[in-house]
Amino acid sequence: MPPAEIWIDGLIQSCIYMTMAFGMVLVFSILGILNWTHGQFYMLGAFVVYYAVSSWGIPFPISLIISGIVIAGLGMMVEKFVIERLTAPGYGMLYVTAATLALIFFFEGAAGMAFGLDDKGLAMVLPGVLDLGSFSISYQKIAVIAFTLVIMITMYIVLNRTRMGLAIRAAAQEPIAASLYGINVKRVSLIVMGIGCGLAAMAGSIMAPVLYVNPFIGRVPMIFSLLAIVIGGLGSLTGAIVGAIILGFLNSVIAYHVSYLSEAVLFVLVVAILLIRPQGLFGAPIK
Amino acid sequence: MPYFDYKNFIPKSVAWFVAALLILLPLFTRNSITLSIFISSGVWAIAVMGFTLILRTGQFSMGQAAFMALGAYATAIFTLQSGIPFWPGFLLAGIVSGIIALLIGLVVLRVGGIYFSIITLALAEIIRIIAERWESVTHGVRGLRPPLPPTISLGGLEINFATSAIPYYYFMIILVVITGIVFWRLEHSRIGGTFSSMAANQILAEHQGIHLMKYRVIAFTVAGIFAGYAGAYYASFLSIITPQMFGLWQSIQIMMMSIVGGISSIVSGALIGATILYTLSIYLSRLPIYNIQYLLFGAAVVLVLLFLPKGTGLVDLWGKFWRKVFREPEEYEIPEDSEMATE
pLDDT of residue A40: 92
Helices (H), A32-137: 38-54, 60-78, 84-86, 93-115
What's the pLDDT score for residue B340? 47
Contact B298 A264 (CB under 8 A): no
Within a domain: A78: yes
B109 touches chain A (CB under 8 A): no
Sorted by where each starts, the structural domains of chain B and their CATH numbers stand as: 28-325 (1.10.3470)
Q: What is the pLDDT along chain A (287 residues), one digit of tens a residue?
A: 778 788 888 888 899 999 999 888 888 888 888 888 999 999 999 999 988 888 888 888 888 899 999 999 999 999 888 888 888 776 667 788 888 888 988 998 888 888 888 888 877 677 777 777 777 788 888 888 999 999 999 999 988 899 988 898 888 888 888 889 888 888 898 999 999 999 999 999 888 888 888 888 888 888 888 888 888 887 788 888 888 998 888 888 888 887 777 778 888 888 888 888 877 777 665 43
Q: What is the maximal distance between C-alpha atoms in chain A?
A: 62
* Number of helical H runs and strand E runs in chain B: 15, 2
Contacts of A105 in chain B (CB under 8 A): 294-295, 297-298, 301
User: Which domain covers residue A161, as residue numbers?
Assistant: 23-217
Q: For B299, which residue in chain A has the nearest alpha carbon? A: A106
| Contact between chains at A110 and B256 (C-beta distance less than 8 A) | no
Name the strand (E) or helix (H) holding A131: strand A129-132
Contact between B290 and A112 under an 8 Å Cβ cutoff? The reply is: yes
Is B310 in the A-facing interface, judged by CB distances under 8 Å?
A: yes
At B47-104, the pLDDT tens digits run 999 998 888 888 888 888 899 988 888 888 888 888 788 888 888 888 889 999 898 8
A101/B125 touch (CB, cutoff 8 Å), yes or no: no
> How is chain B split among helix, strand and coil, in percent rounded to 5?
70, 0, 25
Residue (of A259, A36, A108) closest to B255 by Cα position: A36
A 12-41 near B (Cβ less than 8 A)? 32-34
Number of domains in chain A: 1
With 50 as the cut, is the pLDDT of residue B342 above it?
A: no
For B262-279, what is each residue's pLDDT tens digit? 888 888 888 888 888 888
Rounded distance between C-alpha atoms, residue B328 and residue B333, angstroms: 15
Query: ipTM greater than 0.90, yes or no?
Result: no
Residue A100 maps to a domain? yes
Residue B341 in this model has a pLDDT that exceeds 50: no
Is residue A226 one of the residues assigned to a domain? no
- The answer to whether residue A1 sits within a structural domain is no
Closest Cβ opposite residue B123 in set A97, A234, A271: A271
Phi, psi values for residue A131, rounded to 5°? -95, 120
Tell whether A278 is covered by a domain: no
DSSP string, B229-294: HHHHHHHHHHT-B-GGGGSHHHHHHHHHHHHHH-SSSHHHHHHHHHHHHHHHHHHHTTSSSTTHHH
Phi and psi at B300, nearest 5°, equal -65, -45
| B112 touches A at CB < 8 Å | yes
Whether residues A271 and B122 touch (CB distance < 8 A) is answered with yes
Query: Do residue B311 and residue A263 have CB atoms under 8 angstroms apart?
Result: no
Provide the chain B residues 147-176 that lie in CB contact (below 8 A) with chain A.
Answer: none
Number of continuous H segments (helices) and E segments (strands) in chain A: 12, 2
CB A101 within 8 A of CB B252: yes
Residue B343 has pLDDT above 60, yes or no: no
pLDDT value at B15 more than 70: yes
